[in-house]
């Protein structure tokens, strides 16, 4: 067996992902500003970079970020004690579901089948999850717990709060395009902050190298 290691530089990898997220947000804003204030653009071009559309470049990038979180949190769980292992793996499973939802649009389907905005039951679920994770957060180092809380606030603010605020907006307007940019920015940067924190934690534990075995 040949052993190969892929070494990931946390700072460079995280910086590249943050930069790509910022680029997608700027492209979305730039295209819609031009579309509403200068000249109407072709729908295909807008759809390709629209942060509110499915099956386009920003959607796949957001899903990639969430999958990164699922993978690295799962790897991190192997170094946790038995009491915390389940908490870590539940977080990893949650990010996997979020990554699937990002490309499959599960919450949109759910939203179309109920009379209220999906963000309301989503907010209730988040409150229950937060209450259940209080002991887990208190068991972590103070700075680590605070960064987890901050990343969670950013992500939930985008996924739920901004969703509720933009519910009654005209979807064909510059104001809505701004609201979408804010929503997706908060989600992506919240997820990226959580990813960066966990990658640094893995780096300190010596687990940031991914080893791949190949038969000769």
- What ranges do the domains of the chain cover? 2-214
Rounded Cα gap, residues 125 and 199, in angstroms: 27
**Residue with the two structure tokens 């629209």:** 50
Neighbours of 173 (CB within 10 A): 12
Residues counted in the chain? 216
The model's pTM: 0.84
Confidence band, pLDDT 50/70/90 cuts, at residue 3: low
Rounded Cα gap, residues 104 and 43, in angstroms: 21
Lowest-pLDDT range, 1-5, 30-34, 178-182, 194-198? 1-5
Q: Round the average pLDDT of the chain to a whole number and report it.
A: 82
**Residue with the two structure tokens 């905005």:** 117
Dihedral pair phi/psi, residue 52, rounded to 5°: -100, -5
**Residue with the two structure tokens 């052993």:** 3
Rounded Cα gap, residues 132 and 176, in angstroms: 35
Is 111 exposed, middle or buried (CB count within 10 Å of its CB: 0-12, 13-18, 19+)?
middle
Using one digit for the tens of pLDDT, what is the confidence trace for 26-73?
A: 999 999 999 999 999 999 999 999 998 878 999 999 999 999 999 988
Please say whether the beta carbons of 190 and 155 come within 8 A. Answer: yes
Using one digit for the tens of pLDDT, what is the confidence trace for 76-114?
A: 887 766 667 888 899 999 999 989 888 776 655 555 556
Rounded Cα gap, residues 191 and 145, in angstroms: 15
């Amino acid at each position: 067996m040949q052993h190969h290691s892929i070494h990931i530089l946390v700072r460079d990898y995280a910086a590249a992902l943050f930069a790509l997220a910022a680029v997608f947000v700027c492209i979305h804003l730039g295209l819609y500003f031009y579309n509403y204030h200068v000249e109407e653009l072709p729908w295909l071009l807008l759809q390709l970079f629209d942060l509110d559309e499915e099956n386009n470049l920003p959607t796949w990038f957001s899903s990639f970020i969430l999958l990164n979180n699922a993978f690295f949190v799962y790897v991190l769980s192997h170094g946790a004690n038995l009491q915390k292992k389940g908490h870590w793996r539940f977080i990893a499973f949650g990010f996997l579901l979020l990554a699937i939802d990002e490309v499959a649009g599960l919450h949109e389907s759910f939203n179309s089948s109920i009379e209220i905005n999906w963000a309301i039951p989503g907010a209730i679920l988040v409150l229950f999850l937060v209450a259940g994770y209080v002991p887990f957060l208190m068991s972590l180092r103070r700075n680590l717990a605070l960064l987890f809380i901050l990343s969670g606030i950013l992500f939930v603010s985008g996924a739920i709060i901004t969703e509720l605020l933009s519910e009654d907006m005209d979807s064909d307007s510059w104001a809505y395009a701004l609201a979408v940019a804010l929503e997706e920015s908060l989600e992506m940067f919240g997820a990226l902050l959580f990813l960066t924190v966990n990658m640094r934690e893995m780096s300190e534990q010596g687990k940031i190298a991914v080893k791949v075995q190949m038969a000769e």
